[in-house]
A and B are shown apart, each in its own frame.
Chain A
Amino acid sequence: MFSLFRADRVLAITRKELYEGLRNFRFPLVLGVVAILSILSGLGGAQYVTFLQNQNAFGPIGAASPAIDYGALFGLTESRGLSLADLAILYSPVISILLSADLMSKERDSRTMVKLISKPITRSEILIGKSLALVSVLVAVGVVSPLISFASLQASLGGTVQGEDLSRLGVFTLVYILYLLVWGMIGLFYSNLFKKPITSYLVSILTFLVFSLLWANITSVVANSAATSVAQLESEQYMFRMLSITYIFSEVALFVLNPHYLGVNGGQYTFDWFKTTTFVGSLSSVWIDIVILAGSFVVLWVLNYKMFGRMNITPQG
């Protein structure tokens, strides 16, 4: 079995990966793009809130929350395009994939993997070192993105922040990081599976397209062919949709950030502008989703560990 890992060897790999990412401007580029998108999502959100306030859409909630309903703001899926939800759900997996899909394949393609495994370092140390570099950048993205978005919103609208909003934003950030990590592990999986970085990138992007953008259409077709009633159709559509981590995370984001989402009934979300649920109530609706996301991350990491541990490294990589 594998030996226990040594921190100095793991950190040597992590350091090398981070240095490489900084040297080829990949990390600064990713963080820069994330920062710009986050600012835009904050400003776009502020504009939308102003519009809703003018329409008196918040109604009695405005009276209960004298400043701004931040929770509602971050769950505003109506502002499709550049809301924080869009940024988190749709754009971030691409960032995860860009950072992870060549982690192993680039070493095999350039044959540096041969050199690496000939050194006194276990394969688990190589994988942990690379994962650590990936995790540290994704955590940075996961923390910085909501913070910037929130700060730009705050700067634009002013007002005071409610304590519960901070709790919601904190939990959202943690789940967002988990979501980024799951996509990172999917990229790493393809990076283990394919030797050519271009192949692992393309397959990762294809997976993202299928499970994020096309998934609703696919599940509709599948559910339509099986359902015998409208109620059954909605229920099955929901069931199939939740096989995608994108939709699992989407549900968590909606419920954690927006107190007006009250529950799931027959495959339909119960939403009411004039009612709110508590933070704990929101969490209780989606705790199973959070567990599934965490479980996916663990399972995928173990799968990568097993794959890399059994991988044959040939002279060609």
Chain B
Amino acid sequence: MILALLILYVVTLIYLPITERFRNHTSLIALQGWILLGIALLRLHSLEGLELAFIIVETLVFKALVVPAILLRVIRKTKINRVSGSGSSQFNSLLLSLCALGVSCWIASAMADERIDMIFFGVALYALLSGLVMIVVRRRVFAHLVGFLAIENGVFLFSMAIGVEMPMMINMAIMLDILISILLLGIFLRKLDNSIHTDDADALTTVKD
């Protein structure tokens, strides 16, 4: 069951770079949240009741509900609906993402060890790399944010790989969730749109005191 969820998670990562509409990006991030919830339920059932409940509630509230809701609000408020450029840009992103998948798998198999769950590690690494691809290839700030969320979900997934032995790692990943939510609220809803009126990350280089 966990393998099916992990494969579904990787499929969302494959579709992330080729998606054009930000609403679909949001749906994919929300789907990742639900998948991570499922993995957490299956993976961490041996944890103590309160700790497990905290992780489950946090995953459900932040990853599956709050962050997607904030993203949708940002889309409505800024009226930015699509990534800039299409066609070849998506193709190149997907090509890079495919390379990232190969590299992640190669590193995971090269580090194969009985003590570490390498499929979790490989998928988490792929999530980090595909988030980086999103940030590097895309121009709009919203897409960068989606890339950052993909990276953050990867970190959370990796923390779950060792979460049974080190529950504190999951708590730290949760702190990262909360930081991202505050970043979304603070920068996008309050500051960026009011001050700069742009959605292009390149335009931020012209910002002065």
Specify whether A and B are partners.
no
Write the residues of chain A forming the contact surface with B, with a CB cutoff of 8 angstroms. none
Write the residues of chain B forming the contact surface with A, with a CB cutoff of 8 angstroms. none
